[in-house]
A and B are shown apart, each in its own frame.
Chain A
Amino acid sequence: MKNLNAISTHTLRRWGTLLISLLFVMSLAAQNITVRGVVKDAGTGETIIGANVVVKGTTSGTITDANGNFSLSVPANATLSVSYLGYETVNLPVDGRTHLVINLKQSAVALNEVVAIGYGTVKKGDATGSVVALNTDKMNKGQATSLTDLLAGQTAGVTVTTSGGAPGAGANIIIRGGSSLYASNAPLIVVDGVPLDNNGVSGLQNPLSTINPDDIATFTILKDASATAIYGSRASNGVILITTKKGRLGQKIHVSYQGNYSVSTVGSTLNVLSGDQFRNFMDTYWAGNKTIPPLYGKTSTDWQKLIFTTASGTDQHLSVSGSAGVLPYRVSVGYTTQNGILKTGNYTRTTAALNLNPSFLDDHLKFNINLNGSYNTNRFADQGAIGAALQMDPTQSVMASGQYGAGYWMALDANGNPIKIGIANPVAILNDELNYSYVYESMGSAQVDYKFYGLPDLHAKADVGYDITNSNGNKTIVANSPMSWVWGSKKTGAGEYDPYHQQSSNTMLDVYLDYNKTFGINQLNAMLGYSWQHFFTTSWNATYYTDNTSIARQDYPAENYLLSFFGRLNYTLLDRYLFTFTLRNDGTSRFAPGNRWGLFPSGAFAWKIKDESFLKNVNWLSDLKLRLGYGQTGQQDIGGNYYPYIPTYNISPDINTMYSFGSTWYNLMRPGAYNTNIKWETTTTYNIGLDYGFLNGRFTGSVDLYKRVTSNMLNNLPVAAGTNFTNILPANIGSLENKGLEVVLGGNPIQTRDFTWNLSYNMSYNKNTVTKLTRVNNAEYGGIAGGGISGGTGNTVETTNIGYPAWSFYVYQQAYNSKGQPIEGVYVDRNGDGIINSQDLYVDHNGAPSVTMGLSSRMTWKKWLLTFTLRSELNNYVYNNVQSNMGFLNNSYDPSPFLKNILSSALTTNFKNAQYLSDYYVQNASFLKMDNASLGYTVNKYLTVTATVQNVFTITNYKGLDPEVQGGIDNVIYPRPHIFLIGASVNF
């Protein structure tokens, strides 16, 4: 018998070891380890909830939880791919580690960025229209009192012109040239789904200043009709969509503080003659005139110095966001106060904002509730003081003891009585006029998003919103002050108290259904909705004089409604070919029943060329997309005229405008003008654009070419005499065209570990032409006159006429002598008929620029940050009304008698009499401005400090004070100060 246990244990052991090793190796290879980790934002250190953590190359993965943590079982040699919208994806090999901290950097590639479009959002890469999303963190920093400050120079095709340097000053925003002549040219501004009413609020220069810029999360500008047509009736001038910052579910408390302290200084002022220069000039120019020398005062006063001062201000903002259980919230408060460089002026604002965005039923029911409130107070320093300071006799002292003027010097005639056409003492204007306003504003919206059970691709959404303002103000003029003798209609020394009140409340409701479906290579998004809006406003004003007379209070309530049905269809094929169609049917209460509905369609096509196979491997090109868009939008906002089609009678209660029969005075009843045919103005836009990007998104940009045609233009023009109860009536006659080009290029020319330089450049060119104006073309017709100026009565220097841009200057052509000096009163006889009359006026440029450019630069080096913004307008002309009204030599003596100062430039111009209509005063105001420059230092992860200068410098050839003039007529502008700010930003 042989021993069967002859298999040697050695063999067994050997095989066993091999087996076990094999198993070990196998299990090693197939062995999953549990990796735990946290995903954070590389910049702020905040954890990111909902980030995708996927094993690269597989579909196995998870998302981070409410604390940013994840736990995943992966092969030990796996690579994790971690991504989140708006951040760069990170690929990290596990290398056997069981605990990972992954930091995600915010994405420089904007294509995945989600931008807001009307009633929805879309990835930037998928947008078919001309849409620009501004990154609020990178925008103009430093005392951005209002969101109009944030905009300037940032976007191609958007020009923002403030009215001047007054605190809280209003601004005009024009997108791609104005499309209307008579109706509003302001874009529609939508805040958290609530479209704001653009009509002014009494007592508040800039109604948009009530939104604190630090509360703004996204700022999207929709420029072409394919993007704006979804807003139909209010979208002809572009749309600005603003959303405010929100809290995030599961976020731990985050506190953020922004504050700064600012000092504003006066830049340069206009040159006028000093006391001694004035005396010398008068003695020479008016030699032989015996009434003048006794009028000289005994001193030398620099009136401009007395009215301007260095001013301080501060802006504080605190916000707390977090998540109270299932309720994410954000609360913020802000306080801003700014003194003006014109003494006694001040603007103060307190804001509060609350945002709640809970989601229930497992994300099937989401709410986004926004509430916003502000309280604004103004003390207005009357800007008339600036013009008065330029003309006030520089030989006189500020104060005078006498019967008239309430302690201030004022001109008296030979009998010792106040001269009623004199100049009011500038210091008195600032001290003895008290003009206050108190404005409450609140807006809010509740957005509901319901995802259907059983049909998760379908959402039902509703937005309910309101926008209320309540403003009160009053102006007091002290009795016997110089203003009480020289201003207004009484001119008897009576003081006055003018209270006013305005209230507006707008409410809206939107409901819509949204459906998304992807099937195969097709992707479909459909949206259908209904909107209802009501605007109500009422105001009153009254005047009470200290002589016990008054102008009674009259109330002016008015309202209008807008109703719409709208829908949109987005279809994407192969993720490369995108089609969008929108249709909106708007009804307004402004027009008669037969004319009140307007249909506004739009269509757009986009082709993501970069995703085509022939470009897929071209690595230096990271993005190329072609966009074609067409759309029609409407306009019906003719301002304060709410009932233009209804025949009415106005029985005026005014006691100063009556007629008598015998001894009885009767009020007057006048039939009101009306136009039953008034209807929508339509603007059709054609847009072709190309978006491009290089080097993996390191450089991006776009080029857009557009044409906007406004037809059935709402035009306030002469109606045939004898057909209606006034001479000028809004009617739909005329058309206007805007053609233009926009170029944007931005990126990081330098990008190293320590030093990054980001530059962003935009340029736009726009040409505006009136193509039809009146019912009948009359060659003799000079156009619709406009552009009133100071000086004389009723002088106008602008016209709107066929073949020219709207509101072009319409003046005489000045003749010059061989030395290049203007020959006073001599103009070129352009039609050669031997006389100089209105037929010799010609169109000489206009106030709108042909080209606007903006350049923003941002450099970071380790913990330092240096930014600046440059902005330029070319070919904008300004009518220098300051020179035309205060720059002629005979203006220095009025036979009443009193003396007026003249501009130093008057001595060079050498005109004796006013020549208001000379093109000598239409001056090229092209400029280059550096709007702001800022240096910041990140002390640690909590604190950043910055020092900023606003309105750094201006380069221009314009002969007036500031080439940036709203409306193109420079009639004494409130100078824009240089502002120096020191600020700090704290986050934890």
Chain B
Amino acid sequence: MKKIKFSILLAVGVLMTFMMSSCTNDLNVTPLQQSILTPGKAFANDSAYTNFLAKIYAGFSTTGIQAVDNNVDIQGIDGGSQASYVRALWNLQELPTEEAMCAWNDQTIQNFHTFQWSSSDPFILGFYDRLYFQITIATSFLQQTTPAALAANKVSSAMQATIKTYRAEARFLRALAYYNVLDNFRNGPMVTDDSPIGSSAVPPYAKAPQIYAYISNELRSCVSDMLPPVVGFGPTYGHANQAAAWSLLAKLYLNANTYLGTSNTQYYDSCLTYCNKVINAGYQLNPVYQNNFVSDNYKSPEIIFPIVFDGTHAQSWGGMMFLMSSAVSGDIQSITASPGAWGGNRATQDFVAKFSNTAQNENASLDTRANMLYTGFNHPSIDDNSQFKQGTPVLKYSEKNSQGVAPNPAPSFPDTDFPVFRLADIYLMYAEAVLRGGHGGDLQTALNYVNALRDRAEGGGFTDLEIQLNQLTLPFILEERSRELFWECTRRTDLVRYGLLTSPNYVWQWKGGVKSGVGASSIYNIYPIPASDLSANPNLIQNTGF
């Protein structure tokens, strides 16, 4: 009896031990989905590096890896509306200015024009997360493409040469994201090539001077590996070339004093150095102003670096779709052949006034740039902000082509690319740098550049809009920047540089939440670091006032 008991128990014990050991290995699994690959398999093909680089670029255009705005990069907020680079950049750079006001009630969107935002603002959070997502994947790309990593993956030498350029481009794109951090937040977490991504280590806190220095060094060291400048469309369209890096450097130096809190003219010297490099690279002003913002603007000789959108292949509700659709209501949609008509953003009467005849701006009625302002609603004053038809729609971005023809059948998403840098901006930066005392340029050349813009603005080869040397002043440049670059996401930066963003001396309708416009606290010259990152990273310190 005891023997039977014992042998049974022994048998059971053995059986169980056998089962245990053979099955615990079941707990090691790998993803079954075909498109999800472990690192070894992902880089088995050399072409994977191109796909990876394409994602870094695409992060500025679309919001995820599945249409439309699905499988998003940034979660927890509406992917298409808050974490899209172009849309977020536009909201943060245009809404706190005279150039735009939003009629919608989406969460805290009204706080931008009224200077009441806080550290828990979802739009600021979306932009911040998008920037750091770009920084992180660019850094990861660089970590995966070190010579050692490429050798370990047995990448062909031809591809290795191409990857050298890719690395330079990734560094440029990372610098662009850091530039946005510096310009909007000043301070923030710092991620570099040595940062251990995926670990629980938190990045250190960096203040503006450190971020500024990082951007400057990065761009200056990677630019030589980038593709040489290309004018117009070609097989490398979409890649950032050296002219893009020079343009970003020019902009960085023009604003350096603001970022660093100094007043050093040497930065303007550097700004002029890089402006000249771009100007000498062969870019030309597009004879038709409008053709920088049409569905075939990839042909424009003026655009230095675009963000690519496409009706079929690069679809997002944020991005160019937002720029076009938020600007029109259904009845004026056909003017720009916009795929959507959401009736949200339009300009204040103070922006429209920049195109009226004044002593500083003679013959303004000849300025064809003003043709983009739709006056048909005839109600330029925004009395009730919920009414889109009060205020002036800005029909800048168009789905029609350079011949004025709308596509048929009408696409669901636009094809127009977003110009990040164009020659006109470089001309104006040149002029401003000279006026601020920079060496490496002269006033007469600056005047010529500005007048070239104004001639183009009139069109037809006429010169009625040209100005005299004594009219070329810093205040004039500020206004001319608005007339030329409105709705291209630079206005806030320009106003901050001139010290006028929060000033009570430079107001527009509803600035600060009061109809006639009031000044706001100077803390609003920068955006707060989002509270959610402060709660995840104990190294960070919030910006003053928030």
Contacts and interface: CB of A to CB of B under 8 A. Distances in A.
On whether the two chains bind one another, the answer is yes
Interface in A774-813: 774-778, 780-782, 784-785, 788, 791-796
Nearest to A840: B118
A723 B199 contact: yes
Interface string B332-359: 0110000011110000000000000000
A666 B54 contact: yes
B58 A511 contact: no
B533 A795 contact: no
A122 interface: no
Contact of A723 (B129, B198, B334): B198
B112 to A, nearest CB: 11
A666 B538 CA distance: 39
B331 A414 contact: yes
A723 B136 contact: yes
B472 to A, nearest CB: 40
Interface string B174-205: 00000000000000111100010111111100
Given A725-B136, A913-B105, A420 B341 contact: yes
B531 A778 contact: yes
A600 interface: no
Given A724-B198, A785-B122, A587 B24 contact: yes
A576 interface: no
Contacts of B32: 538, 557-559
Q: For the complex, would chain B's binding face be called helix, strand, loop or mixed by DSSP majority?
A: loop
A914 interface: yes
Interface string B23-47: 1101111111111111100100000
Given A557-B33, A722-B132, A727-B133, A413 B330 contact: yes
Contacts of A652: 35, 65-66, 71
Contacts of B239: 661
A668 to B, nearest CB: 4
Interface string B75-86: 111101110000
B374 interface: no
A665 B50 CA distance: 11
B29 A530 contact: no
Contact of A671 (B50, B137, B190, B387): B137
Which of A556, A653, A720 is packed against the most chain B CB atoms within 10 Å?
A720
Interface residues of B, number: 125
A417 to B, nearest CB: 8
A226 B81 CA distance: 48
Contacts of A415: 334
A912 B105 CA distance: 12
B67 interface: yes
Interface stretch (B268-276, B309-317, B444-452): B309-317
A646 B30 contact: yes
A455 B5 contact: yes
Contacts of A722: 132, 135-136, 189-191, 195, 203
B12 interface: yes
B388 interface: yes
Contact of A792 (B51, B106, B316): B106
A720 B117 contact: no
Contacts of A454: 1, 4-5
A781 B532 contact: yes
A657 B387 CA distance: 34
A530 B19 contact: yes
Contacts of A266: none
A721 B120 contact: no
B82 A794 contact: yes
A659 B57 contact: yes
B99 interface: no
A655 B312 CA distance: 8
B412 to A, nearest CB: 5
Nearest to B235: A662
A431 B144 CA distance: 54
Contacts of A788: 78
A838 B189 contact: no
Contacts of A414: 330-331
A737 B24 CA distance: 33
A669 B108 contact: no
B535 A648 contact: no
A774 B331 CA distance: 48
B410 interface: yes
Contact of A666 (B5, B50, B190): B50
Interface string A720-744: 1111111110000000000000000
B107 interface: yes
Interface in A633-671: 642-643, 646-663, 665-671
B412 A490 contact: yes
Interface in B354-391: 386-389
B129 A721 contact: yes
A605 interface: no
A782 B530 CA distance: 11
Interface in A538-565: 538, 547, 551, 554-561, 563, 565
Given A650-B65, A793-B80, 17 more contacts: A491-B412, A643-B29, A648-B31, A648-B38, A654-B66, A656-B314, A661-B235, A663-B235, A671-B140, A723-B136, A780-B531, A780-B534, A793-B78, A795-B107, A895-B329, A895-B389, A916-B105
Interface of B: 1, 4-5, 8, 12, 15-16, 19-20, 23-24, 26-39, 42, 48, 50-52, 54-55, 57-58, 61-62, 64-68, 71, 73-78, 80-82, 104-108, 111, 116-122, 128-129, 132-133, 135-137, 140, 188-191, 195, 197-203, 234-239, 308, 310, 312-316, 329-331, 333-334, 340-343, 386-389, 409-410, 412-413, 513, 531-538, 542, 546
Interface of A: 413-415, 419-421, 452-455, 458, 460, 489-492, 511, 513, 530, 532, 534, 538, 547, 551, 554-561, 563, 565, 587-589, 593, 596, 642-643, 646-663, 665-672, 674-677, 716-728, 773-778, 780-782, 784-785, 788, 791-796, 835-839, 890, 894-897, 912-917
18 contacts: A413-B330, A532-B23, A557-B32, A558-B33, A565-B20, A649-B38, A651-B51, A652-B35, A654-B65, A656-B313, A657-B58, A657-B64, A721-B203, A723-B198, A725-B137, A727-B74, A793-B106, A895-B387
